[in-house]
Amino acid sequence: MALGVKRGRIVSQNTSPQNDAPRLVMLRHGQASLGTADYDRLSPLGQAQAIALRDRLEEARLLNSPVVAGSLKRQQQTRRLLSSRGPSQIDESLNEYTVDRLIRSTLEQAEDLGIDVPDDRAFADPKTYLETFLEWFPTVLGLWQSERLTCSHNGRWSDFHARVTAPVPTWKNVLSSGDSLVVVSSAGVISTLAAHMLNEDLSWQRELNVRLYNASVTELSLDDQGRWTRLRINCVGHLEPDAITLA
**Domain containing 113: what range?**
98-153
Residue 140's identity, in one-letter code, is: V
pLDDT in tens, 50-92: 999 999 999 999 999 999 999 999 999 999 999 999 999 999 9
Q: How would residue 123 be classed by pLDDT, with cut points 50, 70 and 90?
A: confident
For the chain, give me the number of helices (H) and strands (E)? 9, 8
Q: Would you say residue 72 lies in a domain? A: yes
Q: Is residue 158 part of a domain?
A: no
Q: Are residues 143 and 212 in the same domain?
A: no
Residue 194 CA to its chain's centroid (Å): 9
pTM of the model: 0.91
Inside any domain, residue 141: yes
142 and 225 fall within a common domain: no
One domain for residues 237 and 119 = no
Is residue 170 situated within a structural domain? yes
Residue of 104, 103, 112, 191 whose CA lies nearest to 139:
103
* Overall residue count recorded for the chain in this entry: 247
Share of the chain above pLDDT 70, in %: 92
181 vs 1: CA distance, rounded Å? 21
User: 40 lies in a domain?
Assistant: yes
Residues 133 and 12 in one domain: no
11 has a pLDDT exceeding 50: no
The reported pLDDT for the residue numbered 127 is 76
User: Which residues is 3 bridged to in the sheet?
Assistant: 12
Per-residue pLDDT for 48 more than 60? yes
Q: What local confidence, expressed as pLDDT, does residue 124 receive? A: 81
Whether residue 64 is found in the same domain as residue 170? yes
Q: Write the CATH number for 190.
A: 3.40.50.1240
Backbone angles phi, psi at 222, to 5 degrees: -110, 135
H helix or E strand, kind and range, residue 234 = strand 228-235
Q: Residue 135's pLDDT is what?
A: 92
- Split at pLDDT 50, 70, 90, the class of 19 is low
Same domain, 19 and 82: yes
- Any domain includes 159: no
124 and 200 inside one domain:
no
User: What is the Cα–Cα distance from 122 to 166, expressed in whole angstroms?
Assistant: 34
173 and 236 co-located in one domain? yes
89 and 141, same domain (yes or no): no
Number of domains in the chain: 2
C-alpha to C-alpha distance for 244 and 247, rounded to whole angstroms: 9
Nearest C-alpha neighbor of 197 from the set 30, 6, 21, 23: 23
Same domain, 91 and 170: yes
pLDDT digits (tens, 9 = 90+) for 160-173: 999 999 999 999 99
For residue 121, the model assigns a pLDDT of 83
**For the residues 12-34, what does the mean pLDDT come to?**
77
Which pLDDT belongs to residue 17? 45
Which residue from 221, 177, 215 is spatially nearest to 46, judged by alpha carbons?
215
Residues 19 and 81 in one domain: yes
30 and 137: one domain?
no
Terminal Cα distance for the chain, rounded: 23
Q: Is 67 a domain residue?
A: yes
